[in-house]
Amino acid sequence: MTVLAENVYENDDHYDYKIGIDVSYHNGAINWQKVKESGVDFVIIRAAYRGYGKEGKLNRDKCFEEYITGAHSAGLDVGVYIFSQAISEEEAKEEAEFILRIIKDHEIELPVVYDPESILDAVARTDDVSGDQFTRNTKLFCSMIKDAGYQPMIYSNMLWEAFEFDLTELAEYPIWYADYELLPQTPYHFEYWQYSNEGNISGVPSRVDMDIRLIPR
């Protein structure tokens, strides 16, 4: 396993780190023991997603139960995320309630992540949603997750930090930052870095997203 992010934080005076992956059913049948043996410490599993078509139906990830059971059996810490296409605070509330129902019978050691993304290769129901609305949706979702006793976290990238989110309104919540350059291209604090979508990990039959968790010393 080649882990470029290790080179960035190896022997860092300020942070320790753990290596992880994030997965959805697109990654196929996973051998979690092999994943653990490859040096992976944690996984963030997609629990649910909203379709980006007009209907915007909420769906449970079809592999969630299999993945979380297997990951825990192998000794991995688990976080979860929902792929959002909410166009209003009402829909963000619906997404929070949906993921809370899915995870209520599971141990969740790591954050519950809100993942609103732009759809670049198709028309999406969120195409005309303003950054202000995205911020309100995210703030409501995170507050509901926090009130339920979990740690909320926000998935973001450089463009969302610059043009969509009002980070002053979201400052209390940690960021899971996506950036596939050799160094993270952001002036803002983050706690997790998704640094590649081309990971090759034993036990995962497809290319997989790679993550690093930064832990202050």
CATH number of the domain encompassing residue 67:
3.20.20.80
Q: How large is the average pLDDT for residues 180-201?
A: 95
The proportion of the chain whose per-residue pLDDT surpasses 70, expressed as a percent, equals: 96
Which pLDDT band holds residue 9 (cuts at 50, 70, 90)? confident
- Report whether pLDDT(205) > 60: yes
Which pLDDT band holds residue 120 (cuts at 50, 70, 90)? confident
Of 193, 204, 178, which Cα lies nearest the Cα of 38? 204
Average pLDDT value over all residues in the chain: 95
Q: What is the pTM of this model?
A: 0.95
Please give the radius of gyration of the chain, using alpha carbons only, rounded to the nearest integer: 17
> Which pLDDT does position 2 carry in this prediction?
42
Q: Does residue 47 lie in a domain region?
A: yes
Q: Does residue 2 lie in a domain region?
A: no
pLDDT digits 0-9 by tens, 137-173: 999 999 999 999 999 999 999 999 999 999 999 999 9
Q: Does residue 57 lie in a domain region?
A: yes
- The Cα-based distances of 84 to 45, 113, 185, 198 in angstroms read 14, 10, 24, 23
DSSP letter for each residue of 138-153: HHHHHHHHHHTTS-EE
Q: Does residue 195 lie in a domain region?
A: yes
Helix (H, G, I), strand (E, B) or coil at 16: strand
Total domains present in the chain: 1
Q: Does residue 8 lie in a domain region?
A: no
- Of the CA atoms within 13 Å of residue 196, those in its CB half-sphere come to 18
> Which pLDDT does position 7 carry in this prediction?
62
Residue type at 134 in one-letter notation: F
Q: Does residue 163 lie in a domain region?
A: yes
The proportion of the chain whose per-residue pLDDT surpasses 90, expressed as a percent, equals: 89
- The Cα-based distances of 148 to 114, 131, 142, 175 in angstroms read 15, 26, 10, 19
Which pLDDT band holds residue 12 (cuts at 50, 70, 90)? confident
> Which pLDDT does position 10 carry in this prediction?
75
Q: Does residue 3 lie in a domain region?
A: no
Which pLDDT band holds residue 4 (cuts at 50, 70, 90)? low
Q: Does residue 1 lie in a domain region?
A: no
The beta strands (E) that lie in the chain are given as 15-23, 42-50, 58-60, 77-84, 112-116, 152-157, 175-178, 192-199, 208-216
Q: Domain residues for 194?
A: 15-216
pLDDT digits 0-9 by tens, 39-89: 999 999 999 999 999 999 999 999 999 999 999 999 999 999 999 999 999
| Cβ neighbours of residue 59 closer than 8 Å, sequence gap 6 or more | 48, 49, 50, 51
Q: How large is the average pLDDT for residues 14-39?
A: 96
- Report whether pLDDT(1) > 70: no
